Amino acid sequence: MQSLCVFCGATAGHDPAYREAAQAFGQSLAEHHIELVWGGGHVGLMGVVADAVHAHHGRSYGVIPGFMAERELAHPFATEMVVVDSMHTRKAAMAERAQGFVALPGGFGTLDELFEIITWAQLHIHHKPVGLLNVKGFFDPLLNMVRHMVHEGFIKQIHLDQLHVADTPEALLASMKLHRPVEGDWLAKIKP
């Protein structure tokens, strides 16, 4: 993997552990020579990850909608920054550039990006690894809900198994490097 798209909060949350994990993840990306692809912001955990990448001489590719750039939310030290017309264009541009995706703690926007990219993997729109940095069990309630959805027949276990989950940056990156996509045509299996 030469680039990873990171989804995370535009705030840093209440627990300092989230900020520390974002900083460690950014440092790991730089040390592994993996380009950060992200929403281009300088605020919250997004800014922390980007700051850590830059502090450790890594590369970053930001994609920010014009309305956010106009509000001076763009990170000033991005290696490359692209200003786009909408949130939809932003997500598509990040997905095209990245060779994998990782979610750190965040809110609605993080979940929106995470579930869209997981759905794209399920539909074979991409075959890239998707991971969760499960800081202090942040994603445990979400994972329990997804397991319930598997149990109730709405998600297949093989698709849940495609999600890489770890509580440290090194463990997550190691798991994602071993990623093997699901074989077969998921859509063919749901046709009458």
Quick: pLDDT tens for 47-71.
999 999 999 999 999 999 998 888 7
Phi, psi of 93, deg, nearest 5: -65, -40
Q: How far apart are CA 37 and CA 61, in angstroms?
A: 5
pLDDT digits (tens, 9 = 90+) for 19-51: 999 999 999 999 999 999 999 999 999 999 999
Whole-angstrom Cα distance, residue 186 to residue 111? 23
Q: Examine residue 52 and state whether it is found in any structural domain, yes or no.
A: yes
Please give the residue range of the domain that contains residue 100. 3-176
Going by the DSSP 8-state scheme, the letter that residue 41 receives in this structure is B
Residue 183 domain flag: no
In a domain, residue 113? The reply is yes
Residue 187, in any domain of the structure = no
Within a domain: 160: yes
**What is the number of domains present in the chain?**
1
CATH number for position 140: 3.40.50.450
Q: Are 85 and 93 in contact (CB under 8 A)?
A: no
The answer as to whether 53 is a domain residue is yes
Taking only the tens place, the pLDDT of each residue in 123-150 is: 999 999 999 999 999 999 999 999 999 9
Distance CA 113, CA 129 (A): 14
Is 191 among the domain residues? no
Is residue 181 in a domain?
Answer: no
pTM for the full predicted model: 0.92
Can you read off the two tokens belonging to residue 38?
């992200």
